[in-house]
Amino acid sequence: MQNSAENLPIKSETAVFKKFVTFWIHDELFGVDIIDVKEVTPLMTITPIFHAPDEVKGYVNIRGEIQLVINLRVLLDLPDREIGSDSRIVIFKPIIAEPFGILVDKVGDVLEVNSELIESESRSSTQKIKTSLVAGVCKLEDNLLILLNARKFLEQS
């Protein structure tokens, strides 16, 4: 895996580094704490749930376990789009909430980021998206990584 955060300071004993699972939505790079993620699955048949809120895409059966699928584009107030071949479902651990995952356009790398470089959410950098889900932002060499709080996904739906 290529580390997009190559320009970050060299690890030291005092620096605290965090790992994030990254993904793309609407040409924006997002990440969630790797500790919260159970797995990333290829897209499978999503069964719709009638009369569910717009952000609920449906549910999937993964190895006999039913997982609610949230359309993160809708939660972030971004335009919806057709599911593509690169689309994936990021499934979260049960410590976050009942079994659920988020639909993303494309999965990126796992990035290790110096926590000192993570800035608290900035209105100017995230003005296009719903800021209640944003945990922070981190400037990478070639992108802005918007960090999301997975624990708030179901609160917003």
Q: What is the DSSP string of 87-127?
A: -EEEEEPTTTSSSEEEEESEEEEEEEEEGGGEEPP-TTTTT
Q: What is the mean pLDDT of residues 56-64?
A: 93
Beta carbons of 104 and 24 less than 8 angstroms apart: yes
Dist. CA 87–CA 151, nearest whole Å? 22
Element at 33 (helix H, strand E): strand 28-33
Question: Which stretch, 5-19, 37-51, 118-132, has highest mean pLDDT?
Answer: 37-51
Percent of the chain with pLDDT over 90: 53
Percent of the chain with pLDDT over 70: 83
Strands 118-119 and 106-114, bridge-based pairing: unpaired
pLDDT band at 132 (very low <50, low <70, confident <90, very high): confident
Dist. CA 10–CA 28, nearest whole Å? 26
Higher pLDDT, 11 or 20: 20
Dist. CA 24–CA 107, nearest whole Å? 6
Considering only 16-20, 24-28, 77-81, which range has the smallest mean pLDDT? 77-81
Q: What is the token pair recorded at 46?
A: 């999503």
Phi, psi of 111 (to 5 degrees): -110, 140
Look at residue 128 in the predicted model and tell me its pLDDT. 55
| pLDDT above 60 for 36 | yes
Q: Domains in the chain and their CATH numbers?
A: 17-156 (2.40.50.180)
Dist. CA 126–CA 120, nearest whole Å? 11
